[in-house]
Amino acid sequence: MGKIIVTGVAGFIGSHLTETLLQQGEEVIGIDEFNDYYDPMLKYKNIAHLNGARGFTLIEADIQFLDWHQLLEDVDVVYHQAAQAGVRASWGKGFASYTERNINATQILLEAAKDARNLKRLVFASSSSVYGDAETLPTHEEICPQPVSPYGITKLAGEFLCKLYHKNFGVPSVSLRYFTVYGPRQRPDMAFHKFFKSILQDEAIPIYGDGQQTREFTYVSDIIAANLAAAIAPAAVGEIFNIGGGSRVVLAEVLDTIEQIVGKPIKRNHIEKAMGDARHTAADISKAQKLLGYQPQVSLTEGLTKEWQWIKSLYS
């Protein structure tokens, strides 16, 4: 049996994915550069329990400086989760790290993948941010993407590269457009992590704009299930899939749910609308249901409760 590579192994999604793969008895090479976009200690914490686990190898390096030809020799599947994340930080001087980590790194990986004889699948982590302010809700994959953030543009470029390498060199790529992922190990720059942390420290939680924006929220275990399905479903090669959680909610309503979970009223601090934030997101997941057998399992209340438990243990 071939090996599996997970890039961004110490991140939110990469660490969960690797954990699941190891539980299934797979041999996993995890790659992460542990950059400081957020506290690297959190990343080391994410995979602390995997160190020394059977079948796990960690490579601490920048994707752009690895010998991919050698790495991919006996690899079956690559889950390319590594990216420069964050919509709001992608403006201004920070943009260079987005082009480096989301476009250049992906091209280097694809370039090596075209010569990798044993590679059966390359699963690319894309984002609903490629849609921007989509005219049709829920949004299906054929809608013309119109990103409203520089981040969304780099994710779309990554998708197009995957498509090109599939078309021209037969690289067996699949792109998954994640809709707002949450759960334990969620990045500290993401809304629910910020909300729960503020509540724990008895501070007001920051809300961009009027709180009437809607999001499709997807629990991390559903994202993992989608990745595993995308790696084996024969019809997935060369395709793009929306991966949503089946719960599209107004932010203000999410806050009510969070109040119920934490058992106390939340102080809210409304701040200016953020540049690059889409007003509404909603996923049409019928394609993933049909071709991947994807079906989200975790409700928002259940998922938020799990994230709250994790946040409490993280900051206790």
Q: Among all residues, which ones are annotated catalytic?
A: 151
Give the DSSP letter string of 168-197: HH---EEEEEE--EESTT--TTSHHHHHHH
User: How many whole angstroms separate alpha carbon 252 and alpha carbon 128?
Assistant: 21
User: How many whole angstroms separate alpha carbon 141 and alpha carbon 74?
Assistant: 33
CA of residue 96 relative to chain centroid, distance? 20
Closest CA to 244 of 126, 154, 147: 126
Q: Which residues pair with 4 in a beta bridge?
A: 28, 77
User: How many whole angstroms separate alpha carbon 30 and alpha carbon 61?
Assistant: 10
Angle among Cα 316, 312, 223 to the nearest 5 degrees reads 135
Q: With contact defined as beta carbons under 8 Å apart, do 294 and 243 qualify?
A: yes
Closest CA to 186 of 13, 44, 309, 32: 13
Beta strand segments in the chain, E = 3-7, 28-32, 56-60, 75-80, 121-127, 173-178, 181-182, 205-208, 214-219, 240-243, 247-250, 268-271
Q: Helices 251-262 and 300-315: crossing angle, nearest 10°?
A: 60
